[in-house]
């Protein structure tokens, strides 16, 4: 069976494992906290009997368990705490990701890596450098999640099926993300024909604040169902070579005039990883927003 390794068995990692467990995959959870990977793996394994899946799920503290994984999802790292700057978070998680990548290089050197750890765009750069893999095999999960949040906002506002809402979100995973209302369709109808510019703006702002809105409601903790599902969808697209076009944090080398920076863009995702960058026609203002988003990531990297 195809093998997926998930580094970090917290809420996001275990949710990704749970979603993938409906498929005929071998799934390995690894975590440094004693018992957490093993316990969650056992719980998920027992759930496969309920939905009659042949998946095999194991958990371990030992990185040798990831041997020969075809896809590795990295969720390991610390969450941003009150008083912690993005630069503080970057430096702490960069050390963690560097350690994780050293094990990936040894045990599954041919794997495709999906980064989930924040600050996500910068962590992709850290992983790319630490792994030394081709850029096509190192990517980040952000656009799938951010686009799902935007599609949900639109569907709820218009009272339509979310399946009929087609949109995408570019840029980094944060305040500088770039929504594309001009490329958004509801069924075969442009979004602009169904609601006002003011309402579209409000929906985009809610998308940008999507994570913070959930944190405020939960009081403790942050979102994990949608992030975990988004990472799982990306992994499945790679494992099944399904050639899906999804918004992914990918390494750009000239697209939109952006050089050597990880930025969220639509890509063709398949067995080789990022198989093609899909370039959209963007208006001048939208392009400037995307360039500013890339610059934000570049500025953050300077602190390393």
The catalytic residue positions are: 173
Can you tell me the distance from the alpha carbon of 37 to that of 59, in angstroms, rounded to the nearest whole number?
A: 4
Q: Using DSSP, how many helices (H) and how many strands (E) does the chain show?
A: 9, 14
Contact, 249 vs 121, CB < 8 A?
Answer: yes
The residue behind tokens 């500088």 is 176
Contact, 21 vs 52, CB < 8 A?
Answer: no
Token duo for residue 186:
């509801």
H-type alpha helices, the chain: 11-20, 36-50, 86-107, 120-131, 143-158, 197-208, 210-218, 225-239, 284-302
Sign of CA dihedral 74, 78, 83, 89: negative
Nearest-CA neighbor of 266 among 257, 276, 256? Answer: 276
Token duo for residue 288:
């400037």
Sheet-wide strand order for 165-166 = 165-166, 185-186, 189-190
Phi-psi region of 4 (alpha: psi -120 to 50; beta: other; left: phi over 0): beta
Q: Give the CA distances from residue 6 to residues 48, 65, 70, 108, 228, in Å, rounded to whole numbers and listed in that order.
A: 18, 10, 11, 12, 11
């Amino acid at each position: 069976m195809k093998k997926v390794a998930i580094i970090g068995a917290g809420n996001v990692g275990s949710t990704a494992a749970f979603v993938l467990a409906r498929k005929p995959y071998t799934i390995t959870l690894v975590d440094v906290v004693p018992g957490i990977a093993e316990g969650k793996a056992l719980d998920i394994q027992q759930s496969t009997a309920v939905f009659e899946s042949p998946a095999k799920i194991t958990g371990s503290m030992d990185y040798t368990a990831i041997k020969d994984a075809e896809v590795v999802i990295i969720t390991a790292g610390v969450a941003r705490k009150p008083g912690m700057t993005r630069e503080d978070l970057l430096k702490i998680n960069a050390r963690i990701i560097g350690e994780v990548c050293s094990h990936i290089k040894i045990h599954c050197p041919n794997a495709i890596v999906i980064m989930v750890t924040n600050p996500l765009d910068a962590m992709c750069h850290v992983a790319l450098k630490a792994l030394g893999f081709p850029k096509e095999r190192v990517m980040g999960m952000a656009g799938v999640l951010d686009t799902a949040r935007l599609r949900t906002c639109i569907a709820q506002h218009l009272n339509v099926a979310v399946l009929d809402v087609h949109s995408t979100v570019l840029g980094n995973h944060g305040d500088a993300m770039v929504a594309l209302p001009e490329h958004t369709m509801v069924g075969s109808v442009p979004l602009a024909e169904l609601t006002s510019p003011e309402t579209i703006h409000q929906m985009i702002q809610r998308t940008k604040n999507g994570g913070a809105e959930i944190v405020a409601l939960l009081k403790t903790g942050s979102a994990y169902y949608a992030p975990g599902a988004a990472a799982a969808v990306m992994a499945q697209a790679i494992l099944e070579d399904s050639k899906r076009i999804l918004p992914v944090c990918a390494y750009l080398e000239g697209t939109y005039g952006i050089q050597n920076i990880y930025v969220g863009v639509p890509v063709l995702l398949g067995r080789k990883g990022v198989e093609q960058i899909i370039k959209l026609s963007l208006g001048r203002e939208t392009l400037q927003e995307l360039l500013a988003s890339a610059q934000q990531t570049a500025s953050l990297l300077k602190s390393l």
